[in-house]
């Protein structure tokens, strides 16, 4: 299988991402984990994670009782997920070309991956295709508004500044260094309307929306700022009647 262009970056940083993601308390995931668990809910659904990375969300889904299939376009990340016993089944597959029959899953999860997918509408269409009747698509995004601005400083009460336009699709590339680890990120920033349009085109309607708060942790200024301006946007969607 030819690797799609949007996964080339993640193939190049697979080892760095695995180390970054698996250090407890290191990035934002750990401060939203409890809220994400509550939003997903316990159960025994046939669950698919699209863009599983090294597997931490798949492991969370298993902890909640679900039967998990983990997929990613990057083989090295799927192998990292497998090595950590993250899921029940695994597949190397791009988000816009999932190797599963229609209606195979009760729950389809895309956690912070649609920003990294070049063909985002195609990925959403595939997620809708493999969703069983009555099933749920669950999407986490870096909040589109947060994505287009920055805090003026590190203080918890620093102003949030938006430069340029909220609208349009923009490529982003950058790196972050924290506690001795450096991670390079790349993807696309686009407004909420674009994501909502992709869901509508795929025959899905938003059934729940959350702008979650982190679990406050003293000393982590970036997450205290997120008590004022949401870092993530979480959506659930179901098939239109």
What is the predicted pLDDT for the residue at 1? 38
CA dihedral for 15, 30, 162, 156, sign (positive or negative)? negative
Domain ranges of the chain: 5-239
pTM, to two decimals: 0.94
- Higher model confidence: residue 156 or residue 169? 169
Query: Percent of the chain beyond pLDDT 90?
Result: 85
Segment 149-157 mean pLDDT = 90
Question: Is residue 221 scored above 70 in pLDDT?
Answer: no
Phi first, then psi: give them for residue 169, nearest 5 degrees: -115, 125
Could you tell me which CATH number the domain at 5-239 has?
Answer: 3.40.50.150
Cα 200 from Cα 179, distance rounded (Å): 41
3-state SS, residue 231: coil
């Amino acid at each position: 299988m030819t690797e799609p262009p949007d996964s080339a970056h993640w193939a190049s940083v697979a080892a760095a991402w695995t180390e970054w993601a698996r250090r407890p308390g290191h990035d934002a995931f750990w401060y939203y984990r409890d809220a994400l668990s509550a939003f997903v809910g316990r159960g025994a659904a046939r669950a698919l994670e699209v863009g599983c990375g090294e597997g931490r969300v798949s492991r969370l889904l298993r902890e909640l009782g679900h039967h998990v299939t983990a997929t990613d376009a990057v083989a090295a990340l799927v192998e990292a997920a497998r090595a950590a016993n993250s899921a029940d089944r695994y597949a190397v597959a791009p988000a816009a070309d999932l190797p599963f029959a229609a209606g195979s899953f009760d729950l389809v999860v895309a956690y912070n991956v649609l920003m990294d997918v070049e063909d985002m509408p195609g990925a959403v269409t595939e997620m809708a295709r493999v969703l069983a009747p009555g099933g749920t698509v669950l999407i986490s995004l870096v909040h589109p508004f947060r994505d287009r601005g920055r805090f003026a400083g590190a203080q918890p009460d620093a102003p949030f500044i938006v430069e340029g336009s909220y609208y349009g699709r923009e490529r982003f590339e950058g790196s972050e260094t924290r506690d001795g680890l450096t991670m390079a990120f790349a993807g696309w920033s686009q407004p909420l309307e674009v994501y909502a349009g992709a869901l509508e085109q795929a025959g899905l309607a938003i059934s729940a929306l959350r702008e979650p708060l982190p679990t406050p942790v003293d000393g982590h200024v970036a997450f205290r700022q997120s008590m004022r301006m949401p870092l993530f946007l979480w959506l659930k969607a179901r098939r239109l009647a």
